Structure 1
Amino acid sequence: MTQIPEYVDGQLNLAGAESLVAKTVEAVAGAPVDRASSLDLGGIDSAFAIALHMHQPLIPAGGDDTRTADIISNLQWMMWHQDIGDNHNAPTFLWCYKRMGEFIPQLLGEGKRPRVMLEYSGTLLHGLRRMGADDVLDALRGITVGEGRDAVEWLGCPWGHAVAPSTPVQDFRLHVRAWQQHFAALFGTEALARVRGFSPAEMALPNHPDVAYEFVRTLVDCGFTWVLVQEHTVETPDGGPVRTPHLPHRLVCTNSKGETAEIVAVIKTQGSDTKLVAQMQPYYEARGLQPVELAGRRVPPLVTQIADGENGGVMMNEFPGKFHEVVRECSGTRTPMVTATEYLDQLFASGIKPSDLPVLQPVNQHRIWQKVKAGVGPKRLATAIEKLRAEDDRFHVDGGSWTDNISWVRGYDNVLAPMERASSLFHEKVLKKKVSTEDPRYRDALFHLLTAETSCFRYWGQGVWTEYGEELSRRAIERAESVR
């Protein structure tokens, strides 16, 4: 196994090993994950999977003056200021990031069959290292490369928790590649080869045809074989709702040039409520389901949920006991806990092919394709979209996420304009000049660009968070402009 250094001369190593990362994922393309699995789809009625999303942004708060302060983890700032607001939760948050490294070995030692999917943003992983939380990373390493690795599935994500609908498509690809390299540096290339699923930040799926196409292309090109999507961000080709949410689908995206990209989609049902996962609701929902027909075969349905792994009193306090209770109860039954890749590997081994899966597309695209045909080009597509907006002020191509009352574009000009300037300069001053990805200037500029594109600086509205976003964008612009 080739080791990628986590830091190079004090800089986080987010670039420079692109060829090794590409070779790693290409070597396992299309092959099932090498795991010791007792899952037999023919012997169960249904299955369920839970994923834990973990994220902390990086903020310019390591000092009194925002313009000169060190960039630190928001978690570290919370630890320093536990007397403010809800910051007293910081030690519990830190334990939440570590505790699966304790729960999985314990339950395996009892002879049970725990399963969990984990998604940690790159900003969180870097922040943990920089604040000296090596014990957290060591615990995670134990269930990533150790005996518990078959019980844990890591999901890829954008390094800086950037939302796909409003992040420049070329930058989103940089986020995905950066996360892969960072993960490989932490846990090794063999661990990276086992990462097949992708979890978009905020469950935000682009629905603009050209952006959605590039989103799927990026995932496929980066070696991912499936993506987690929120039920209400997709539609059937006739514009209807998802009819079989507990079966995998194909997410098919066509752009204005008529090009098509597709990937397997696992559907997350219902809204983003941490109580659903904290109280292990997917298990109880799955217990009421029976096999359904797919391509002439009877297959067990899969109930899938994702939630923040640390936010909220229920997740912080009730989840540990409930997780242990359900793992102990479901192990060896006809409603087992699984990971999505484990389920998909067994499904395709049974004779089902990806082409047998029902088709989905991003929400609102049916209305677009009624106005204009794929292949007419970006100008005519833009005209059709403007007509739809004029006819219905609720129509949008800002993308969809777990909450439809938030636009990731409208109302954030003061943040988006500096971010777009930073992105433009990075591509003009760094990429077009073909600065080596191993060059310290490249790594420095990339780190600041990806950090500035974190969704938190928009999600939390106006105030200190947008000020953080503006400051990080200023630094990203400064780094890009300094490249000569």
Structure 2
Amino acid sequence: MSAVMSVPAIDNPALPMLCGWEASIKGARCSGQSVFVERTNLDLDGLSAGFAIALHMHQPTIPAGPGGQLIGHLQYMFEHAYEGDNHNAGPFAYCYARMGDFIPELIHQGCNPRVMLDYSGNLLWGIQQMGRSDILDKLKGITCDSRYQPHVEWLGTFWGHAVAAATPLPDIPLHIKAWQHQFVSIFGLEALKRVRGFSLPEMQLPNHPDALYTLVIALKDSGYHWMMVQEHTVETLTGEGIQQPHLPHRLIARNSHGQETSITVLIKTQGSDTKLIGQMQPYYEAKTLGKVTLGHQNIPPLVSQISDGENGGVMMNEFPGAFKRAWYETQQDCRVAGINGTEYLELLAAAGVHEGDFPTCQAVGQHHLWRSLLEDEITPERVRNKIATLAANNITFTGDSWTNDRSWTEGYANVI
């Protein structure tokens, strides 16, 4: 019996699977056991550096079906091929499936590829709605077949591609759990056990104390061990920029009541994301790096990067060749290897390097807040007043992302 059949049946396939399996999912997520280190074919001792790439995929859900029915935008593109760039529907669809071709092909050729996948719940449901079993079967192949673990790692995200700063705090855990339900409806509970990392939509990290604390608590309660963040959205505890972005960090989250929690983060370096991934720049950057000391161990640093997996000519056309070429080259130079996020952290733990050894960071701008409040002075009212004072000096707490040219909170005051 498959893992999917161990949860209740889907009552209405016309609706997305957003809830109802909480007990089964919680049971699958409560294990703290490692998921990749027993399967990995990598040894950190022989590596000078590693690189990790993640592909973000999304198509929104829109009321454009018959009678305003909700459908995925990819379906709309196919049905309105002569509008705008909708002629790209076919290439987009293949982008969503092609890792199911690339990974087995590369492994068959003796390569050792790695990739992390971040698909929004909207997109996964939209593919289901379209009946595109060709796409889903290719994804199932590299997700559920043990031969492709740990070559492929899925990252969790919000179901509806919501940005955290524009999401009401009680909704944050609901978005997280809804995506898990959607994932299980396709790939099963066993596959969900291996989803330990989280990718924020738009890399939008909230820096309001209560929003960040709520996010981190919700992630940990949902079984996540780490998340990816953008370099310029975090700072040291004293307000400086991150000095070692290629090392894992421990993100500190403190709320307006003074409660504190933390989670491991891998830091995505700044740059033009699709060009960096499209040309496999993380691999070439990793070739310039050497081991660094963390805790009491010398470890290979990890160059981490994420980008849209389908948008633009670079990702549609240049990426496939560059992706394969990088793995061919790593066959000749064993000092640098692709390593997925959870695999890397589990290998560090096996080498005796743990979260307490990681450098600490916090959401950008928070040093302005905490340096003026003693621990016994932290109350919701004082934090609220201090944030208002800082806002008058253009220091805001509405979050940061790779799209800082726009506001994700303006116009949403009535719902957040």
Q: TM-score interval w.r.t. the shorter chain?
A: over 0.9
> Which runs of structure 1 show a deviation greater than 4 angstroms over 4 or more consecutive aligned residues?
none
Q: What is residue 289 of structure 2 aligned with on the other side?
A: 289
CA distance in 2 between partners of 1:104 and 1:406 (Å): 36
Helix, strand or coil for the counterpart of 2:144? coil
Q: What is residue 238 of structure 2 aligned with on the other side?
A: 238
The answer to whether the 8 Å contact 2:36/2:150 transfers is no
Deviations 1:329-371 (A, max 9, x none): 1136110111011111111110111101000000000001122
The answer to whether the 8 Å contact 2:212/2:253 transfers is yes
Q: What is residue 172 of structure 1 aligned with on the other side?
A: 172
Helix, strand or coil for the counterpart of 1:7? coil
Helix, strand or coil for the counterpart of 2:134? helix
- Segments of 5+ residues of structure 2 without an aligned counterpart are none
Q: RMSD between aligned alpha carbons? A: 1.5
What is the TM-score with the length of structure 2 in the denominator?
A: 0.95
**Residue from 382, 386, 411 that aligns with 1:380:** 382
CA distance in 2 between partners of 1:157 and 1:9 (Å): 23
Q: What is residue 150 of structure 1 aligned with on the other side?
A: 150
Q: What is residue 191 of structure 1 aligned with on the other side?
A: 191
Letter in 2 for 1:191: A
Helix, strand or coil for the counterpart of 2:116? strand
Helix, strand or coil for the counterpart of 1:305? strand
CA distance in 2 between partners of 1:181 and 1:139 (Å): 20
Helix, strand or coil for the counterpart of 2:207? coil
Is 1:119 paired with 2:118? Answer: yes
Of 146-155 and 219-228, more deviation after overlay is shown by 146-155
Q: What is residue 19 of structure 2 aligned with on the other side?
A: 15
Q: What is residue 363 of structure 1 aligned with on the other side?
A: 364
Q: What is residue 302 of structure 1 aligned with on the other side?
A: 302
The answer to whether the 8 Å contact 1:256/1:374 transfers is no
> What is the Cα deviation at residue 33 of structure 1?
3.2
> What is the Cα deviation at residue 30 of structure 1?
5.0
The answer to whether the 8 Å contact 1:257/1:374 transfers is no
Of 46-55 and 322-331, more deviation after overlay is shown by 322-331
Deviations 1:163-194 (A, max 9, x none): 11120121111010111121112111110000
Is 1:277 paired with 2:277? Answer: yes
> What is the Cα deviation at residue 291 of structure 1?
0.4
CA distance in 1 between partners of 2:191 and 2:278 (Å): 27
Helix, strand or coil for the counterpart of 2:336? coil
1:24-423 equivalent positions in 2, closer than 5 A: 24-26=28-30, 28-33=31-36, 35-63=38-66, 68-146=67-145, 147-331=147-331, 333-374=334-375, 376-390=378-392, 392-393=393-394, 395-410=395-410, 412-413=411-412, 417=414, 420=415
CA separation of 1:336 and 1:6: change in aligned 2, threshold 3 A:
farther
CA distance in 2 between partners of 1:241 and 1:12 (Å): 41
Letter in 2 for 1:364: G
Of 82-91 and 308-317, more deviation after overlay is shown by 82-91
CA distance in 1 between partners of 2:8 and 2:94 (Å): 26
Helix, strand or coil for the counterpart of 1:8? coil
CA distance in 2 between partners of 1:385 and 1:211 (Å): 13
The answer to whether the 8 Å contact 1:6/1:182 transfers is no
> What is the Cα deviation at residue 34 of structure 1?
5.7
Letter in 2 for 1:22: K
Helix, strand or coil for the counterpart of 1:336? strand
Aligned residue pairs total 409
> What is the Cα deviation at residue 111 of structure 1?
1.4
> What is the Cα deviation at residue 374 of structure 1?
4.4
What is the TM-score with the length of structure 1 in the denominator?
A: 0.82
Helix, strand or coil for the counterpart of 1:83? coil
Helix, strand or coil for the counterpart of 1:31? coil
The answer to whether the 8 Å contact 2:36/2:149 transfers is no
> What is the Cα deviation at residue 263 of structure 1?
0.6
